[in-house]
Amino acid sequence: MSVGEFTASNIAMDMDEKEKGKAGTVDMAKLSADIAVQKELSTKGQLAQAIEGLLNLEKSSRLAEDVTATKACCAAILDVCYEARDWRALEENVMLLTKRRSQLKQAIQATVRQAMSYIDIIEDKDTRVSLIKTLQAVTEGKIFVEIERARLTKRLAAIKEADGNVDEAADILQEVAVETFGAMAKTEKIAFILEQVRLCLDKKDFVRAQILSRKVSPRAFVERKGEGQGEIGIEGTAIEEADKGTPALAELKLRYYELLIRYYSHLNNYLEMTRCYRAIYEVHAAAEDAEKWVPVLKHVCWCLALAPAYSTPQGSSSDRTTLLTATLQDKKLSELAEYKALLTTFTNTEIIRWTVFESQYQGELVAFSAGLFSEPKRREDLQLRIIEHNVLVAAKYYSRMRTSRLATILSLTPEQMEKHVSDLVVAKAIKAKIDRPAGIISLAQPQSPEEQLNSWAGNIARLLELVDKSCQLIEKEAMVHKVALTTGV
């Protein structure tokens, strides 16, 4: 192979040619007969002698660099240990086989995978954990068994979580960075990262959960060419089959947004919660499953009602307006007349009475009391959004008004009214000044110097236009009545 042809595909072809050259140097018929003799010896209770004989066969096959023969000998050694249920001997021989001099990579990989198949069979938890840790030690630092190491780590974390050690399980799982594995299937990568995020959320480590969640992009849930099993990935390695039980992309997408909802619920970031619920709703709506999309669409409406109408560090008002408009234009929302009226209430420039609103939606609030409104703060935030809506409506229609009148409109005490108005001024939602001695609040938007100059220029232009038109009309009347226009001295 020339230097110019040094590519990933040519490297793979070159490795295949080397493997073909190594295979077939050992008489497999004679080797199979010798392995059968040693297995027969182990059934008679002479396990140590059988293992010693198989190790000698493995050595001769390894020195001959025969991949098939070496893998057969390694498998036979593990089989006799498994049939004898001697887990200690199994661990020792796994460690011995993988550490032997000039051991073939294919033999190490086959040995590790065969030993992993015994994990679920072992009933004793301590023995199972011991075997997993032995296999982790064997696979450490070996790229060709990095996928097996990740799966072992995930199993160990699951055992720790089942024992109630959530913090330890999260720490164990975070040791593996599967996003760098070129041969791992995309679905398995995403499932592994989402499991890391879930354990961090259970651990209440929200900062790390956010960092891990950013490793998965929403675009990752779109199937693309070159990401399927057996295809060549971007690193030039063939993508392996996903682990048994790995969910499909559609299910992973739902799980991803459900975890994000848990994270944003902790921050009470209602705008991001709306985006997550919208993504879940689109999946269920596309499947025409009313039992699933109806409750999700209700969550979308309530999150929009809870989101501030003004810009905050958590999101801008334009994003909320875009989501609100898209939801109102959704044809499926017409099937939920009560929720369409809910969103319309917040789009109309009319005062909302909290007592009337609460009585109208009391049933729905009770229905969500175990979910979205399980925390008292959510109900307080909903009442706050209504007060803010009323203040913004008043600021739109009034430039000056008495503080007592505004407090009456908002159904608040003067102290509460002043607090909410001040909060909106700090948030730059409105501009207001309160004259406490006079009891007057000014809601007029002050003009900038540029706006004021433009206003003056416009007024002067309209005045000159009016004077010019008046002069034309006077001259016309003078011509009609033949009156000479004279200027007074």
Give the domain CATH number at 412: 1.25.40.570
Task: Give per-residue pLDDT as tens, 386-436.
Answer: 999 999 999 999 989 999 999 999 999 999 999 999 999 999 898 899 999
Is 172 part of any domain?
no
pLDDT at 7: 39
Percent of the chain with pLDDT over 70: 91
pLDDT at 234: 53
Is 235 part of any domain?
no
- For 408, the domain range is 286-442
DSSP label of 164:
T
Task: Give per-residue pLDDT as tens, 307-349.
Answer: 999 988 888 889 999 999 999 999 999 999 999 999 999 999 9
Is 45 part of any domain?
yes
Is 366 part of any domain?
yes
**Domain end (from 426, 442, 458):** 442
String of b and e for 176-215 (b: at least 16 CB within 10 Å)?
bebeebbbbbbbbbbbbbbbbbbbbbebebeebbbebbeb
Is 261 part of any domain?
no
CA pair distance 77, 370, nearest whole angstrom: 56
**Domain end (from 140, 169, 201):** 140
Is 191 part of any domain?
no
- What is the number of domains present in the chain? 2
pLDDT(61) > 60: yes
Is 219 part of any domain?
no
Is 73 part of any domain?
yes
Report the mean per-residue pLDDT for the chain. Answer: 87
pLDDT at 11: 38
Question: Rounded to two decimals, what is the model's pTM?
Answer: 0.82
Task: Give per-residue pLDDT as tens, 79-97.
Answer: 999 998 999 999 999 999 9
Task: Give per-residue pLDDT as tens, 246-267.
Answer: 889 999 999 999 999 999 999 9
Query: Strand 433-435 to strand 400-402: parallel, antiparallel, or no bridges (unpaired)?
Result: unpaired
pLDDT at 112: 94
pLDDT at 68: 92
**Domain end (from 110, 140, 170):** 140
- In a 10 Å sphere around its CB, with 0-12 CB exposed, 13-18 middle and 19+ buried, how is residue 345 labelled? middle
